[in-house]
Structure 1
């Protein structure tokens, strides 16, 4: 097993000189957090100055010929952002239009909590699907499994959720106190 020469890492980091803090004139350093690398003041916590390592995470990949932004009539472009690929306006930052393809109505199942909205299929930043109410932030109701417009036989909750089990697909009541299960119809 070979040993790692740690002096190489220190040399590379010291070669990076981000300059001085504009607030307190202390040297800036490369810092790391759960969200990634950034540049911060070496006098932290006395000085809380920080800035992102890259000014913009969004990179424009290609223009979509013949497409128009519905807000400002500029051309639409394909961009790569922190949550993956998306279609946005080429006139950014003046126009903030982004074409959303994340929301899908989950078979038009009405929200059992607010009775005004519908449950929609969304994906979190890791790609896992969940089913929140489209009236968010007024309504915070959400499910982790696909909703089914079928009332629970035990507690009469207006919807069930579809889950995979060893015996096949089942419908389960999303209410914690109930938990009733039945085979999917």
Structure 2
């Protein structure tokens, strides 16, 4: 691998905050997109930024749940209005309400027997039939 891979690469896209150019950079947790005007502008996002799911956050009802990766490499889903809203779940969310408790979020859980939906609320123990 060449050393050029470690150098920031221009993307030709303006920064949404300061209008300087965004660059693809490499950090200790992998690739990310950051502003070329750093440290004056600290805008950054994931290199594979996905606007998220169409599932609304059940806590703040304003944000959407987006997939993120922990520092240990595990995927989870969190509200895109972090740090104001700190809601997160470890499983992929589904925009359906629970038939038992009416909680507005179900989670897709994969088991060895198949896939099922479980309630996103800690107080409810709803589990759908295995698909």
State the TM-score bracket (shorter-chain normalisation).
0.7 to 0.9
Which residue does 1:61 correspond to in 2? Answer: 7
Contact 1:69 1:97 in 2 (8 A): no
Unpaired stretches in structure 1, ≥5 consecutive residues: 1-58
CA deviation vs aligned residue, 1:119-174 (integer Å, no higher than 9, x gap): 11111122211111122222222110011111112111111100001221100012
* Partner Cα distance (2:130, 2:96) in 1: 10
> What does 1:1-185 align with in structure 2 at a 5 Å threshold?
60-64=6-10, 67-70=12-15, 71-74=18-21, 76-100=22-46, 101-106=48-53, 108-183=54-129
* Partner Cα distance (1:152, 1:96) in 2: 40
RMSD of aligned C-alpha atoms? 2.5
Structure 1 residue 93: Cα displacement: 3.0
Count residues with an aligned counterpart.
124
* Partner Cα distance (1:94, 1:137) in 2: 21
Unpaired stretches in structure 2, ≥5 consecutive residues: none
Sort the Cα spacing of 1:164 and 1:99 in 2 relative to 1 into closer, same or farther, 3 A.
closer
* Partner Cα distance (2:26, 2:62) in 1: 35
User: Which structure is higher in RCO with an 8 Å CA cutoff and minimum separation 6?
Assistant: 2
| TM superposition score normalised by structure 2 | 0.76
Contact 2:70 2:76 in 1 (8 A): yes
* Partner Cα distance (1:119, 1:184) in 2: 25
* Partner Cα distance (1:170, 1:119) in 2: 20
| TM superposition score normalised by structure 1 | 0.56
* Partner Cα distance (2:67, 2:61) in 1: 17
